[in-house]
Amino acid sequence: MRKLTESIDYPCINFRLELSNNSFIEDNALADTGADVHGLFIPKGYIDTSQLAENIHPDTIGFSGKETEIEVFIGQVEIAGKFFETTIAIYPGDEMIIGRGILDKVKSCFDGPKKRLTIYQ
């Protein structure tokens, strides 16, 4: 098993999101195994959604104790040089989140006592 990356800001991980104009945004996202379905959750207003690929469908998620409709896109997310085609959800939160849409494609080790998150290929 080859290590892709190890976070220095536990439990966050650095990622890059490819935009439609062949540019990227780079940021850190909280790795959240409880964030089902989508690969990347982006807070509403963080980016201009016209820079993302075509909107595939609206979705509904449980957020803050109620169901909320969100926009969903398909995109390329890069973590440590490895690209993942995944869904990108624009949601009304305030944190970037890497969800199960990506985490289910890699092996990861959350080492709480050492405050370390390691992602393997």
Instruction: Find the farthest-apart pair of alpha carbons in the chain and give their distance in angstroms, rounded.
Output: 42
Q: Is residue 102 scored above 90 in pLDDT?
A: yes
12 forms beta bridges with 9, 30
- Its domain, for residue 110, covers 3-120
**What is the reported pTM?**
0.87
Q: Is the dihedral of CA 37, 39, 43, 44 positive or negative?
A: negative
17-45 pLDDT tens trace: 998 888 899 999 999 988 887 899 999 99
Instruction: Residue 62: count other Cβ atoms within 10 Å of its Cβ.
Output: 9
Per the structure, the count of domains in the chain is: 1
Nearest to 68 by CA among 89, 54, 50: 89
Q: Which amino acid is at 51?
A: Q
CATH number of the domain that 45 lies in? Answer: 2.40.70.10
